Structure 1
Amino acid sequence: MRVLHTSDWHLGRVLHKEPRAQDHDEVLEEIITIARTDKPHLIVHSGDLFDHATPSHPDQKKALLVLQELEAVAPVVVLRGNHDSASLFRVFATAAGPRSRIHYIDSPRDPKNGGVLRFPGPDDTVLRLAVLPFVHANRHLDMLGDPDRWRSAYADRIGAMERALADELLRDFDPRRDIAMFTAHLHLNGANLSSERKAHIADYYATDIAQIPAVSYAAFGHIHKPQPLPGKVTGHYAGSPIQLDFGELGETKSVVLVDVEPGRPAEITLRELSGGRRLRCFHGTLDELRTEAAAIGRDLCQVTIRTPAPDSTLSEQVRAIIPDATVLQVIPDCPGQTLPIVTPDDGVAGIEPDMPELFDRYLASDGTKDVLAEPVSRMFADIWSCLEDERPFLVPEEDTLTQPIDADLRRPTEENL
């Protein structure tokens, strides 16, 4: 059987106020063409269909139309990623109806009740696919508890889910006709990161590759850089189909074609994707920019220009030199003048900070009053994640964040009444 593995489309992405819709249009048409040409028996999307939990109507329509085009080729399985809305996936599944060949996996499933899907193939082969969408850590962890336990607690929880899925996946398994696969939206310890949401690739989200079921191929999503899975497991992060952020600068994007047969190792082929504008950072003089103008073409550019003195017409000059490019930012670089550029503290250039990171910078500069900054930071990140993912936030006991206050100050007295 042949499987087409794609992931992390992030429809609705905006970079420095520039919508990526036209880039998605190009690359999604390319993926449809690959599917029609290579004729897979199954198509797996391993999560993050959208960039936000509340995508626009045009982005929802685009996703549905593309999935329908793929469905015409083969059954499609779509996992919910950390950016996707479980409720929206349920709406899509209801609208598609029980006879649809598109399977929306909105939440972890009982292994015996939808956690393992079966797809018939040629010559009486059967492909068994265990599915595990993104699981939020704050549904299983005390976020204000001991930080040293977060990583092990989340990894243990995911490991238990994977073992339960493996038991069902391999129950009554016939190696002469059955094929085992696993798909998940997870951060595996040892993966090479690029521009993922920081809140969902923290250390406590890293999971153990040793817990992955014994399968012919593991189709993973969540990490945007296309790469084989770490360790000895046969599988891939398909990665994002376009360069989503400057943290992915220079990455070659692709989808994965997997040919699997009972009792034989999987054959993996990468189909490179060329659709969509590339990202480019330029740092040099205006004359050097003129020299590179032809090579820049229609790229999405962050341009830093060295000048001997401040020049109010710099942006206009840059855009005149590279008229076909989309200039996202023009940054002057001249003696005696500085322009603050917002970059993450971890040193990965070009990735825009998210709201929890900005809040941490506020805490670093202004601090908190009467309470520890670390639990406040964790709670803010948790609240922000709940808002983006349309989930309720469970407020802990009121005194959790007030424990550092002197007990005497909380006793009613004549002085503080």
Structure 2
Amino acid sequence: MSRLLHTSDWHVGHTLHGHPRTEDFDAVLAEIVAIARETQPDLIVHSGDLFHSARPSPRDMLRALRTLAGLAAIAPTVVVAGNHDSPVFFDVFEVLTGPSVGRGLFFVGRYRPADEGGVFAFDGCGGQERIRLAALPFVHPNRFWQQSSSGPSYGDYAKGMRELQAGLVKAMREEYDPDRDVLFFTAHVYVTGADRSKSERAMDASFEIAAEDLPDVSYTALGHIHLPQAVRSGTLTARYAGSPLAMDFSEADQPKGVAIVDAEPGRPVRVRIRRLTSARRLARFEGTLDQLRAEAAEYDGTFLKPLISGEKPDVALHQKIAEIVPHAVIIKPALAEEAATDAVLDFDPGEEPQLPDAFRAYLAREGLTDADTQAAVTAFTQLLNEVDHEAPPPVLAHELLRAALDNPWTETS
């Protein structure tokens, strides 16, 4: 029996409304390494979005690479790039820490044909089995840009992805031994119908693939969506591992974890989810300050988003809450009365549309044709996907100053 550990969407460097999450990343990444050490997989796959920004800070790169090195010391570890990751950085990581220096750590920053490293082979079950893995990182829709008589446009994304995938799977099946080989596939992609979180970047529906287009292999390790979930299509076994941390309060109640996949040639796989519990909880509170005081222990050590009722507007509201729950990180405290007075939306904020949907509705109201609306929404979505919506790029001077403050030099006599 061969064993795979599937993790994804770490988003190292992510902040929550400006609050760094260094402690949470350190805790949850150490927890993932501990689970790998306990379960002893034959292969570890990270299915993309290693970082939250395409230009991670040196500290975030060090945090991620140290964790991956710890995983690679347990089993070969393959990391594919997600849409948040930089293919160039992945190329650098491959040179510095990849198999050429004997560390069992493999980075796939951009699509590679099978003969250029898109398909891997590893020993499984103590050498009695062979694991073959096809790796498909995030593929930007620009790859399928085409020029036609009617002007430039995006080609059929799903069709293009099927062709790239088919080449990898065909090569993976060459010399396939049904009594010995276990086939895995990993991709960073949106699958139509999967449940999304609000923390994910908007993606136009034309840049999705259907579940039935995924390959018929023992297990498909998916990345992109933060909510852990299985993807259903016939007998297909595919899963989003999800993010190890809740990225925002829309994910506050989502269980986070890694997938442990046990596979044998010619038999259905067994998937177990190992919960990740070491990160601080994201919690909402609605009620009076007296109610919060009575329940304070429940919110100790959390990221707390409070909505307070029964109080008059007061600039000291944040301080009052902090005195009740001194070990919580207070996120955007608000008064319920103010929230009700200021409400201008005619829908539940929990059902707020994605920006591309809102833009599409606006263009329709302005009288644009369906074709022009689709072209504009496609371009708008691409611009959204090019921008890191929360984490600004690191400033070198700030990083150097922080390093100096953390490691002060003292003269010794």
Could you say which residue in structure 2 is the equivalent of 1:313?
A: 316
Could you say which residue in structure 1 is the equivalent of 2:107?
A: 104
Could you say which residue in structure 2 is the equivalent of 1:160?
A: 163
Q: Per the alignment, do residues 132 and 346 of structure 1 end up closer, same or farther by CA in structure 2, a change over 3 Å counting?
A: farther
Q: Which runs of structure 2 are paired with 1:2-401 in the superposition (5 Å)?
A: 2-97=3-98, 98=100, 99-121=102-124, 122-141=126-145, 153-200=156-203, 202-232=204-234, 233-334=236-337, 338-339=341-342, 347-348=349-350, 378-386=378-386
CA distance in 1: counterparts of 2:138 and 2:311, whole angstroms: 51
Which sections of structure 1, spanning at least 5 residues, go unmatched? 390-417
Could you say which residue in structure 2 is the equivalent of 1:399?
A: none
SS of corresponding position for 1:93: helix
Q: Per the alignment, do residues 254 and 339 of structure 1 end up closer, same or farther by CA in structure 2, a change over 3 Å counting?
A: same
Q: Write out the 4+ residue segments of structure 1 that deviate beyond 6 Å after TM superposition.
A: 142-146, 356-359
Q: Which runs of structure 2 are paired with 1:392-411 in the superposition (5 Å)?
A: none
Aligned-residue CA RMSD (Å): 3.3
Q: Per the alignment, do residues 167 and 378 of structure 1 end up closer, same or farther by CA in structure 2, a change over 3 Å counting?
A: closer
Q: Following TM superposition, by how much is the alpha carbon of 1:298 offset from its aligned partner in structure 2, in angstroms?
A: 1.0
SS of corresponding position for 2:133: strand
1:234-259 CA distances to partner (integer Å, 9 max, x unpaired)?
12111001111112120011101111
1:186-207 CA distances to partner (integer Å, 9 max, x unpaired)?
111121111343333x211220
Q: Following TM superposition, by how much is the alpha carbon of 1:221 offset from its aligned partner in structure 2, in angstroms?
A: 0.8
8 Å CA contact 2:200, 2:225 repeated in 1: no
Equivalenced residue count is 378
8 Å CA contact 1:128, 1:178 repeated in 2: yes
Q: Per the alignment, do residues 155 and 348 of structure 1 end up closer, same or farther by CA in structure 2, a change over 3 Å counting?
A: farther
Could you say which residue in structure 1 is the equivalent of 2:409?
A: none
Q: Following TM superposition, by how much is the alpha carbon of 1:374 offset from its aligned partner in structure 2, in angstroms?
A: 7.0
1:156-180 CA distances to partner (integer Å, 9 max, x unpaired)?
1111122222211112211111111
Letter in 2 for 1:21: T
Could you say which residue in structure 1 is the equivalent of 2:395?
A: none
SS of corresponding position for 1:174: coil
TM-score normalized by the length of structure 2: 0.83
Q: Per the alignment, do residues 271 and 145 of structure 1 end up closer, same or farther by CA in structure 2, a change over 3 Å counting?
A: farther
8 Å CA contact 2:187, 2:221 repeated in 1: yes
Q: Following TM superposition, by how much is the alpha carbon of 1:43 offset from its aligned partner in structure 2, in angstroms?
A: 0.6
SS of corresponding position for 1:92: helix
CA distance in 2: counterparts of 1:190 and 1:92, whole angstroms: 34
Q: Following TM superposition, by how much is the alpha carbon of 1:31 offset from its aligned partner in structure 2, in angstroms?
A: 0.6
CA distance in 2: counterparts of 1:376 and 1:44, whole angstroms: 36
8 Å CA contact 2:198, 2:250 repeated in 1: yes
